[in-house]
Each structure stands twice: as structure tokens, then as C-alpha cells.
């Protein structure tokens, strides 16, 4: 993987671990947002939705780098 002139060697296991971490974090945020909505805390739910989008964007960038 290369970005900004730097080369990084990553094993398949490390890539899978990173990908799994993104998936787990997105799930945690999604569930927290659902609980906040159920409790009527819409402001908190909106913040969590934004966090979810940020993690999703990072995951997309990670996948693009892996290709």
C-alpha cells in the first residue's frame, strides 16, 4: 500500500483486522444511535449518525488504499 510517497506493508491478517474493526465500530455507533432515538435524544442520535458517516468514509478510503 502506498500513499503520499510512503510504502506500508500490511499482511492479510492485519488488513482483515482493520476491516473488522471498522465494521464493529459502525455497528456500535448504529446501535447507540438507535438507543438514543428510542430514548428521545435526537440530538445525540444525530451526532452518532455523523460519527457513523465518518467511520464509513474512513472505511471507504481504507478499501481504496487496499486495491
| Structural domain boundaries enclosing 57 | 21-67
**Domain membership flag for residue 1:** no
| Structural contact between residues 1 and 66, judged by C-beta atoms closer than 8 angstroms | yes
pLDDT tens for each residue of 3-22? 677 777 878 899 899 889 99
**Domain membership flag for residue 8:** no
Q: What is the pLDDT of residue 21?
A: 93
**Domain membership flag for residue 36:** yes
Q: What value does the mean pLDDT of the chain take?
A: 90
pTM of the prediction? Answer: 0.78
Total of domains in the chain: 1
**Domain membership flag for residue 10:** no
Locate 34 and state its grid cell.
Answer: 438507535
Residue 63 pLDDT greater than 90, yes or no: no
Distance (Å, whole) CA 33 – CA 13: 30
**Domain membership flag for residue 45:** yes
Amino acid at each position: 500500500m502506498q500513499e503520499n510517497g510512503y510504502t506500508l506493508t500490511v499482511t492479510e491478517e492485519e488488513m482483515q483486522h482493520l476491516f473488522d474493526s471498522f465494521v464493529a465500530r459502525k455497528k456500535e455507533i448504529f446501535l447507540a444511535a438507535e438507543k438514543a432515538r428510542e430514548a428521545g435524544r435526537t440530538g445525540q442520535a444525530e451526532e452518532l449518525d455523523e460519527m457513523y458517516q465518518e467511520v464509513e468514509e474512513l472505511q471507504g478510503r481504507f478499501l481504496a488504499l487496499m486495491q
